[in-house]
Structure formats: structure tokens, C-alpha cells
């Protein structure tokens, strides 16, 4: 939960919105869009007050109606570009 507290502090308008859900067998894939405006330092990079919009993918494996495993990925390379981290 520390990560979520950090994200909602650095990006006070942080929002996660589910865009797609696909079920196949005992797995559910969820594609989400994470958005927010950087208001403080993030991973050592100062704020430029820029908005970001990145994609997150979760794959949940179910057994007996419960999630038994999750794979999670977020596209922070796109977010860092949007925050201007790689600009000279």
C-alpha cells in the first residue's frame, strides 16, 4: 500500500480506469489506463506539472473462485517520457 500512497501523493489526481477485461479459461486479463498530473518528485525526478497516461496490464489466475496468482505490468517508460525525464 506504500506505493499507492506515494502515487496518490505525487499524482494527487491519480485515476485508474479499466478499459478492457477478457476471460479465457481460469484467467482474466484486465487492461487499465492510469492517469495523473505530477505534483512532486517521482523516482528522483522533479515535477514539471505534466499529465501522464500509461497502460497497466493484470492477468489474474483463479482457482475455486479466488485469485491464486497475479501478473502485473505498468508502462512507466511512457510515463517517464510524458514527464519530460529524457528531455535535455
Average pLDDT over residues 63-85: 97
Q: Please tell us whether the domain made up of 2-82 is placed in CATH 3.40.50.300.
A: no
- pLDDT tens readout for residues 43-59: 999 999 999 999 999 99
Residue 85 has pLDDT above 80, yes or no: yes
Residue 29 has pLDDT above 90, yes or no: yes
What is residue 27's predicted lDDT score, i.e. its pLDDT? 98
Q: Is 49 left (phi over 0), alpha (psi -120 to 50) or beta?
A: left
Q: What is the average pLDDT value for the chain, to the nearest integer?
A: 96
pLDDT band, very low/low/confident/very high, at 4 (cuts 50, 70, 90): confident
What is residue 56's predicted lDDT score, i.e. its pLDDT? 98
- Which candidate, 14, 4, 82, places its Cα nearest to that of 47? 82
Amino acid at each position: 500500500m506504500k506505493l499507492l500512497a506515494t502515487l496518490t501523493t505525487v499524482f494527487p489526481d491519480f485515476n485508474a480506469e479499466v478499459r478492457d477485461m477478457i476471460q479465457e479459461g481460469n484467467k482474466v486479463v484486465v487492461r487499465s489506463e492510469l492517469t495523473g498530473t505530477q505534483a512532486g518528485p517521482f523516482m528522483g525526478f522533479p515535477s514539471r506539472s505534466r499529465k501522464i497516461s500509461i497502460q497497466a496490464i493484470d492477468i489474474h489466475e483463479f482457482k475455486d473462485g479466488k485469485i491464486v496468482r497475479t501478473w502485473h505490468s505498468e508502462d512507466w517508460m511512457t510515463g517517464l517520457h510524458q514527464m519530460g525525464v529524457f528531455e535535455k
